[in-house]
Every structure is written in structure tokens, then in C-alpha cells.
């Protein structure tokens, strides 16, 4: 099983940069960079709330679960 962050895909679809996310959400560059490159092991609910609010999406759009067969 795998849990992945789709932030890079969403930003690409919306033609946004990581710097746009940092500026508009107040999240740190390190946090956004780690999420963008799918290198996080845990995420704070407040971070997810800010991302969903800024991007106008649901949590399931950002974080996906893939079951390995």
C-alpha cells in the first residue's frame, strides 16, 4: 500500500508555482517543497486545510491511497 501526495500534479494542472502556494498559504518553503516532491512522512491537519482552501479541492484530491496487489 502507498499513500502519495499529488501536489505537483495539481499545481501543474492549475499552472501554479510552489512560491504561489508559500505566499498565499503562509506555509514554509520546506513544507511545500517536501509535499511537492512527495517526500513527507506525516502532515499536519492545518497544512492540509490550508492547501485544500487555497487550491479549492478536497483532501482526496491531494492525498491518495493506492493498494498494492
pLDDT tens for 44-69 read: 999 999 999 999 999 999 999 988 76
Cα 60 to Cα 3: distance, rounded to the nearest angstrom: 11
Amino acid 1: pLDDT = 59
| 19: phi then psi, degrees, rounded to nearest 5 | -65, -30
Amino acid 68: pLDDT = 79
Is it the case that residue 23 has pLDDT exceeding 70? yes
Is it the case that residue 25 has pLDDT exceeding 90? yes
Amino acid 67: pLDDT = 86
Beta bridge partners of 65: 3
Nearest residue to 57 via CA among 13, 22, 18: 13
Angle at 61 (CA atoms; ends 60, 62), nearest 5 degrees: 90
Cα 50 to Cα 67: distance, rounded to the nearest angstrom: 27
Is it the case that residue 8 has pLDDT exceeding 80? yes
Amino acid at each position: 500500500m502507498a499513500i502519495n501526495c499529488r501536489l505537483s500534479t495539481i499545481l501543474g494542472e492549475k499552472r501554479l508555482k510552489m512560491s504561489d502556494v508559500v505566499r498565499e498559504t503562509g506555509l514554509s518553503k520546506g513544507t511545500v517543497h517536501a509535499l511537492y516532491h512527495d517526500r513527507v512522512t506525516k502532515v499536519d491537519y492545518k497544512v492540509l486545510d490550508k492547501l485544500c482552501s487555497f487550491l479549492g479541492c478536497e483532501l482526496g484530491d491531494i492525498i491518495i491511497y493506492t493498494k498494492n496487489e
